[in-house]
Amino acid sequence: MRKNNYPAFPKDFLWGGAIAASQADGAYTKDGKLPNSSDVQPYLKGLSNMEIQQLEMQGMTLEQVKNNLVDTAHYFPKRFGIDFYHTFESDLELLAEMGFTTFRTSIDWSRVFPKGDEKEPNEAALMHYDKMINKMKSLRIEPIITMLHYETPINITLQYGGWKNKAVIDMFERYGKVLLDRFGDRVKYWIVINQINMIQIEPFLSLGICSDQYDSMDEALYQAVHNQMVASAKIQKHAKTLSYDLQIGTMVADGTVYPYSCKPDDVVLAMQHNRMQYLFTDVQLLGEYPAFALNYFRENHYDLEMTEEELQLLKENTMDHLSISYYFSQMVDSVKNVNKPDSTSVNPHLEANPWGWNVDPQGLYNALSQYWDRYQKPIIIAENGFGMYDKLEDGSVHDDYRISYLGSHIEQVGRAIYDGANVIAYCAWGPIDIISCSSQQMSKRYGFIYVDLDDEGNGTGERIRKDSFYWYKQVIASNGSEV
């Protein structure tokens, strides 16, 4: 442990971690659940990390989705997760042992409305989530619940063409209202849609759209995310009618970039890239589409259906808080890159993990400061973590690399708070090892708690405290004054 140079965390700061139902729960066919977008992603044994990530960004064809639903040759890790659906009580007790005061997880849409288009919810699923939330409250852990974290029912893809279809707005609104009505007395903080800006990085997971479903894919993606933002506004409108103290928020994966140099072309490209990243939060926090986004749509001949009623709804129902995920920073070079989210360059000044993610603690300070200056709304760090291959030895994992990464990032959170940013919570990603979202690997581990499972689901499932478990316990006990 070392002293934090910026111990500026308020007394009521929320310390905890975050997972997703799609990566942890398992119980693929339990209590009426049907497949969702994460359940059709196989583990592709023998590929390199870079090859896996390239396939992820390509998305999935309609034929692949249909084939994967009946495929018995491959292992589909997210169908099994770490069996959190059955082990949540003992797992939450381990998190409470660390001193967690908050925990972010998601509710699986494909459990509550298995096909997405039903008129009535699945009561067995709601009863399960009652138990999970009640367990959190009994441990004095404040729930942060995400309504959609890559769990769009696969029926939405196959029968409706994903989120591009405006019929999905009403389906998701119905789902969101059920969650607020059922759990609003116990859950204050809500994130409607996880990483709503990942439409061109993870289009299938984000929007339930296959890579070959539309002729103009970029137009379809922007239409789909517009529909998601309209659905979010409708859920916020409903939240205002309830007597509970609800805080409804949006979430983005930080995708802002540095310019490669002070050359004007680099600086302007970085500015343009960042503007298109702020588009999603501008609409949801400021209430309207900025001119640069409308120009971008027109110049690229994207014909989006945005009614006056929808635009008014967005203006009148902005989000209460902003959640962000931050793992690494990015950079653009005007010679090599263009104004697209996936067009970035390697930063020569930073080291990376085995998946190519640059380690940049000051990037978190920069991102938090920019978001606060732009929006002046409370910020939740919904994800921050370090994926790495862990080695179990002597009954533990000696993960000094994780302690170093998280400690340096937490210090920069304190620095942002010191400079005025209203950051209210820090959720380390994957406090207990879960399936990787991007690679379907169990071996890409983030947790303070080791789970004895390998990439093909072999193992005992035993939970083992890593060195970082005891370190994070002390960070929380010191309210961030020691890292």
Neighbours of 259 (CB within 10 A): 20
pLDDT digits 0-9 by tens, 80-90: 999 999 999 99
**Of the candidates 387, 360, 375, the residue with the CA atom closest to the CA atom of residue 323:** 375
pLDDT digits 0-9 by tens, 436-480: 998 899 999 999 999 999 999 999 999 999 999 999 999 999 999
What's residue 12's pLDDT?
97
Cα three-residue angle 141-147-152, rounded to 5 degrees? 140
Q: Which residues pair with 144 in a beta bridge?
A: 104, 189
pLDDT of 115 > 90? The answer is: yes
Separation of alpha carbons 435 and 197, rounded Å = 22
pLDDT digits 0-9 by tens, 336-360: 999 988 899 999 999 988 888 889 9
Element (H, E) at 170: helix 167-183
**Of the candidates 401, 322, 434, 303, the residue with the CA atom closest to the CA atom of residue 368:** 322
What's residue 210's pLDDT?
96
Structure tokens at 101: 């005061």
**Of the candidates 117, 114, 111, 151, the residue with the CA atom closest to the CA atom of residue 130:** 111
Separation of alpha carbons 99 and 112, rounded Å = 30
Structure tokens at 66: 């249909």
> Do residues 383 and 325 make contact, with C-beta atoms less than 8 angstroms apart?
yes
DSSP state at residue 284: I
What's residue 352's pLDDT?
87
| The three-state (H, E, C) secondary structure of 365-384, written as one string | HHHHHHHHHHHCCCEEEEEC
Whose structure tokens read 């501008």? 282
SS3 state at 448: coil
Q: Which residues pair with 323 in a beta bridge?
A: 251, 380
What's the rounded mean pLDDT across residues 132-157? 98
pLDDT of 361 > 80? The answer is: yes
What's residue 77's pLDDT?
97
Q: How confident is the model at residue 50 (pLDDT cuts 50, 70, 90)?
A: confident
Q: What beta strand segments (E) does 200-347 contain?
A: 247-253, 257-259, 321-325, 330-332
pLDDT of 395 > 80? The answer is: yes
pLDDT of 375 > 90? The answer is: yes
> Do residues 49 and 114 make contact, with C-beta atoms less than 8 angstroms apart?
no
Q: How confident is the model at residue 281 (pLDDT cuts 50, 70, 90)?
A: very high
SS3 state at 169: helix
What's the rounded mean pLDDT across residues 18-27? 98
What's residue 354's pLDDT?
85
Listing DSSP states for 61-75 in one string gives -HHHHHHHHH--SS-
Percentage of residues in the chain having pLDDT higher than 90: 93
Q: Could you give the C-alpha distances from 416 to 7, 8, 368, in angstroms and in order?
A: 11, 9, 6
Q: How confident is the model at residue 11 (pLDDT cuts 50, 70, 90)?
A: very high
Structure tokens at 35: 């497949």
**Of the candidates 256, 253, 393, 263, the residue with the CA atom closest to the CA atom of residue 324:** 253
pLDDT digits 0-9 by tens, 199-256: 988 899 999 999 999 999 999 999 999 999 999 999 999 999 999 999 999 999 999 9
Separation of alpha carbons 276 and 316, rounded Å = 22
SS3 state at 224: helix
**Within 13 Å of residue 32, how many CA atoms lie on the same side as its CB?**
16
Helix extents (H) in 242-391: 264-281, 291-299, 308-316, 361-375
CA 155 to chain centre: 22
> Do residues 30 and 114 make contact, with C-beta atoms less than 8 angstroms apart?
no
pLDDT digits 0-9 by tens, 282-302: 999 999 999 999 999 999 999
Q: How confident is the model at residue 146 (pLDDT cuts 50, 70, 90)?
A: very high
The per-residue b/e assignment along 389-400, b for 16 or more CB within 10 angstroms, e otherwise, is ebeeeeebbebe
What's the rounded mean pLDDT across residues 416-425? 98
What's residue 4's pLDDT?
95
From the number of C-beta atoms within 10 Å of its C-beta (0-12, 13-18, 19+), residue 172 rates as buried
pLDDT of 53 > 80? The answer is: no
Element (H, E) at 189: strand 189-193
What's residue 332's pLDDT?
97
Residue ranges covered by each domain of the chain: 14-477
Structure tokens at 369: 């400061």
What's residue 49's pLDDT?
79
Superfamily of domain 14-477: Glycosidases (3.20.20.80)
Separation of alpha carbons 222 and 435, rounded Å = 28
Please report, for the chain, how many H helices and E strands are present, in that order: 16, 14
CA 44 to chain centre: 23
What's the rounded mean pLDDT across residues 259-282? 97
Structure tokens at 164: 């591009």
One-letter identity of residue 109: W
